[in-house]
Amino acid sequence: MIKKEMVRVESSSLVARDTVKMVLENEYISRLAVPGQFLHVEAAGHTLRRPISIADADREIGTVTIIFRVTGSGTKQLASCQPGMTLTVLGPNGNGFPFMQAGSRVLLIGGGIGVPPLYYLGRSLAVKPCTVKAILGFQSAADVFYEKEFREFAGTVIVTNDGSFGEKGLVTDVIEQAGSFDYYYTCGPTPMLQAVTRKLKRKPGFVSMEEYMGCGVGACFACAIPARDGGYKKICKDGPVFPAEEVRL
Amino acid sequence: MTNLAVKLPGLSLKNPVMPASGCFGFGREYSKFYDLGKLGAVIIKAATGSELFGNPTPRVAETPSGMLNAIGLQNPGVEKIIEHELPFLSQCEIPVIANVAGSIIDEYEMVAKAFNQTDMVNALELNISCPNVKQGGMQFGTDPKMAAMVTERVKRVSNLPVYVKLSPNVTDIKKMAKAVEAAGADGISMINTLTGMQIDLKSRKPLLANQTGGLSGPAIKPVAIRMIDEVKQHVSIPIIGMGGISSAEDVLEFLLAGADAVAVGTANFQNPLICPEIIEELPGVLHRFGFDSVADAVGKGGSHAHV
């Protein structure tokens, strides 16, 4: 269940341009967090919390990892937090990725700051065991992170918009290279999610979505989006993960 | 023992603190964080005659000491609220104030009638001040004649006490307050959000899809205090004060300005436990500044106070 928890910053490091990896100590959240969930993180001096997806969790030592991009004053403030400092988070929030049965072949398709939740997911699927492949897209070589980490459990293709690292182009340009698979999971900017779900419309898949949030718990309707059935979904509470056919991107 | 209880038309509150409309949904989400029975009351999200889907996203943007929102009154419609949401709140044994919105006066009437037919609502809050819908909302809240008309029409169909939520987006808030009092309002809620805009430097477009939104949070607290201070001198009906409250000290400031009770809005987003925390700290704060009860402090400060 979601709770307001204090977390202690264990470490903080830059993994790519403007991209910060932070390991947070909290026994409760590390125990409950499943891939695809997020934390609603306090940024001191800011009215709204920042929704940041969970990139990994370690139940044994009681830590949870977040990776976020510094895009404004809130994430800049967060990035300035030093090891030993504490912050409050609401979490774990939302619903995670549904797991497929052992033996499935899954494809992970991540773009930019949408890559982190797929790491925790892929790592967890690989031990089921599932066959995991990954396509990770970034703007440029300076933005690439976690290539080595993904390769530990997944055949991985890196693609950059400008071709400065890996293949040149968009994630959808290299999907064929992944070969056959049973399910896909994707997270990234909306135009990428649109392109991926269009290209893979015959395949079952799950998308993880991002939106500006208010409360982060489902009360304020800031992140409500239209659903295919004519209703709506709250990204924070009903998502952030949805079956690809359920939401209108 | 500090007495926190407040008596208002239709409402016996054990303390003066309630979550503000639109910031608390229908209570379910926050009940996971604490027992809602601790609250003075709850003001539920605005209800309209039929389901509204609201505005496109982004619907929120952060500002210095506050935020803009343009949700657009998204709600499942009054019937579904009565059927699916109110029974849950009834179990919590706290007074429920239902926020009523509409695009035409008939719709306000229809929603008010529907709430009157249940026994799960203790008072109505007329939303004539939402800045984020094209029709209705604020157009009723910026013209004293229109505000009086909607108040009168709702009063005619309602046995429940009616609190009218005023918009700060007017040049003379006293006129609005006097007009709704004369039209039969049992109380006033003030203030709703201030209309604002924020422009993204890269795209050069407004950050909110709706372009404008309502500013809330600590940034608007001084505006709320000034307006309550002003209105208090001109009306005799009670005031539920709101606008940027995030501490027990803020509550006392609103009481001093003339509010009889208060609502906490945006602060719930930063700290879901803010309401019970404020309620717990309030006796100590009242005591520290020389008051034995909430009622003692009402109207004891501000521009007209003899202190």
Contacts of A74 in chain B (CB under 8 A): 62
- The phi and psi torsions of B90 (rounded to 5 degrees) equal -60, -35
A240: cis peptide before it, omega within 30°? yes
The answer to whether B270 contacts chain A (CB < 8 Å) is: yes
Give the closest-approach CA distance of A42 to chain B in angstroms. 7
Give the 3-state secondary structure of residue A164.
Answer: coil
- Cα–Cα dist A221/A237, whole Å: 10
CA B302 to chain centre: 21
- Cα–Cα dist B103/B212, whole Å: 19
pLDDT at B1: 78
Bridge-based pairing state of the strands B194-197 and B212-216: antiparallel
The answer to whether B269 contacts chain A (CB < 8 Å) is: yes
pLDDT in tens, chain B (307 residues): 789 999 999 999 999 999 999 999 999 999 999 999 999 999 999 999 999 999 999 999 999 999 999 999 999 999 999 999 999 999 999 999 999 999 999 999 999 999 999 999 999 999 998 766 666 667 788 999 999 999 999 999 999 999 999 999 999 999 999 999 999 999 999 999 999 999 999 999 999 999 999 999 999 999 999 999 999 999 999 999 999 999 999 999 999 999 999 999 999 999 999 999 999 999 999 999 999 999 999 999 999 876 6
pLDDT beneath 50, residues of chain A:
none
pLDDT at B304: 83
Give the closest-approach CA distance of A216 to chain B in angstroms. 7
pLDDT at A249: 84
Contacts of A223 in chain B (CB under 8 A): 57, 59
Q: Active site includes B23?
A: no
CB pair distance less than 8 Å for A211 and B57: yes
Contacts of B217 in chain A (CB under 8 A): 47
The answer to whether B62 contacts chain A (CB < 8 Å) is: yes
Q: Which of A47, A211, A214 sits opposite B65 (nearest CB)?
A: A47
Residue of B nearest to A231 (CA): B53
Give the 3-state secondary structure of residue B177.
Answer: helix
A154 in Cβ contact with A134 (< 8 Å): yes
The answer to whether B33 contacts chain A (CB < 8 Å) is: yes
CB pair distance less than 8 Å for B29 and A237: yes
- The phi and psi torsions of B60 (rounded to 5 degrees) equal -135, 150
B32 in Cβ contact with A2 (< 8 Å): yes
Closest CA to B31 of B119, B77, B93, B76: B93
Bridge-based pairing state of the strands A105-111 and A131-138: parallel
Give the closest-approach CA distance of A125 to chain B in angstroms. 30
Q: Which of A74, A88, A225 sits opposite B62 (nearest CB)?
A: A74
Closest CA to A223 of A62, A67, A50: A50
Burial group, residue B93, by CB count within 10 angstroms (0-12, 13-18, 19+): exposed
DSSP label of B56? P
CB pair distance less than 8 Å for A47 and B270: yes
Contacts of A227 in chain B (CB under 8 A): none
Give A84's strand partners.
Answer: none
The one catalytic residue among B23, B92, B130, B275: B130
ipTM of this complex prediction, to 2 decimal places: 0.92
Within 8 A by CB and 6+ apart from B49, the residues are B77, B78, B102, B107, B110, B111
Half-sphere exposure of A182 (CA within 13 A, CB side): 11
pLDDT at B132: 67
pLDDT at B275: 98
CB pair distance less than 8 Å for A217 and B59: no
Q: Which of A222, A232, A237 sits opposite B53 (nearest CB)?
A: A232
pLDDT at B136: 65
pLDDT digits (tens, 9 = 90+) for A57-103: 999 999 999 999 999 999 999 999 999 999 999 999 999 999 878 89
Q: Which of B58, B71, B272 sits opposite A217 (nearest CB)?
A: B272
